[in-house]
Amino acid sequence: MAINAGVDLSAIRVGLHDELFQGSQPVLAGIDVASTYCYLLATEAHRDGDTWAIHLLDLQSRGLDPEHTIADAGTGLRAGQKIAWPDTPCHGDVFHIIEQGKSLATLWHRVAGGARTEREQLEARLANPRRRCDDSLLAATLETLRRNEAHAHELAADLRTLVQWLERDILSLAGPDLATRQLLFDFVVAELRQREAQDLSRTGAYRRALQNQRDGLLAFAGLLDEKLDAIAQTHNVARDLVREVCILHRKSETSSAFWKGWNRLLRNE
């Protein structure tokens, strides 16, 4: 503790904040993005705004004054930063929102699997040649199961596609400019809104989370635009060319797609 307290934190430009859990007890954590140095690791009874603010003010007294922080949508964490550092932006952590979407898609995939199992069991029951009763009620039930299964499969597939777009095309580091990402993000939110009537408590909650966190989740893209613009000006090349190079390096250098893109860039020089 004494050694840690003597470390000068003024060189840290971006801080990553989160809440870990040791059993039921929260652990407040802070890490320097550039060096991965852990400047905060404190077990507390609470994780409310006041608790976070106390720790952040203590870190500030040791020189911590980041350009911005990165965190999930935790209410206590963000409230604490507003108290301690009201002028420091807190960008959205894209990992948690993507994982939330993946979990939602997986849940509906399991719902579809359960509906399929129930439908297959009823079909086998109706196909039994020894049955001697009126099956009109069971036949109606079977039709309902088939519709439910189809709806669940469709929703699971749609959710998986939308989350993949978020992860690979909108919230990935290499991607389009901020304005384009905003349009694509709003499109995903609109598509989720069209489907949330089937699952208000989960799909609706995910749509609202995306909508409410939009600007924070996309904040990194604005910084990236500025850095790519600076590179373009320094080397006197087109901004779009710099972005294409950035996007190209998402691909493996052993893939044919990489070298096709590489040759296309060389032809456009």
Same domain, 188 and 235: no
Kindly report, residue by residue over 166-216, the tens digit of the pLDDT.
Answer: 999 999 988 999 999 999 999 999 999 999 998 889 999 999 999 999 999
User: Which pLDDT belongs to residue 3?
Assistant: 65
Number of structural domains, the chain? 3
Same domain, 57 and 136: no
Backbone region of residue 4 per phi and psi (left: phi > 0; alpha: psi in -120 to 50; beta: other values): alpha
Q: Which amino acid is at 17?
A: H
User: Which pLDDT belongs to residue 132?
Assistant: 60
Q: What pTM value is reported for the model?
A: 0.85
Q: Which of 216, 236, 251 finishes a domain?
A: 216
User: Which pLDDT belongs to residue 128?
Assistant: 75
Q: Could you tell me which residues are beta bridge partners of residue 15?
A: 32, 69
Query: What is the rounded average pLDDT of the residues 236-247?
Result: 85
pLDDT at 265 over 60: yes
- Provide the percentage of residues in the chain whose pLDDT is more than 90: 71
Which pLDDT band, with edges at 50, 70 and 90, does 127 fall under?
Answer: confident
Say if residues 32 and 12 touch (Cβ distance below 8 Å): yes
Say if residues 66 and 13 touch (Cβ distance below 8 Å): yes
Say if residues 42 and 27 touch (Cβ distance below 8 Å): yes
Range of the domain at 256: 220-267
Q: What are phi and psi of 172, to 5 degrees?
A: -75, 155
Q: Which of 198, 216, 234 finishes a domain?
A: 216
**E strands in the chain:** 14-22, 25-32, 38-43, 68-71, 90-92
User: Which pLDDT belongs to residue 38?
Assistant: 95
Kindly report, residue by residue over 67-106, the tens digit of the pLDDT.
Answer: 999 999 999 999 999 999 999 999 999 999 999 999 999 9
Distance of CA 254 to the CA centre of its chain: 28
Q: What is the CATH number of the domain that holds 33?
A: 3.30.420.10
Same domain, 135 and 224: no
pLDDT at 136 over 80: no
Same domain, 79 and 105: no
Kindly report, residue by residue over 5-19, the tens digit of the pLDDT.
Answer: 778 999 999 999 999
Kindly report, residue by residue over 33-47, the tens digit of the pLDDT.
Answer: 999 999 999 999 999
Same domain, 86 and 99: no
pLDDT at 126 over 60: yes
Which pLDDT band, with edges at 50, 70 and 90, does 267 fall under?
Answer: confident
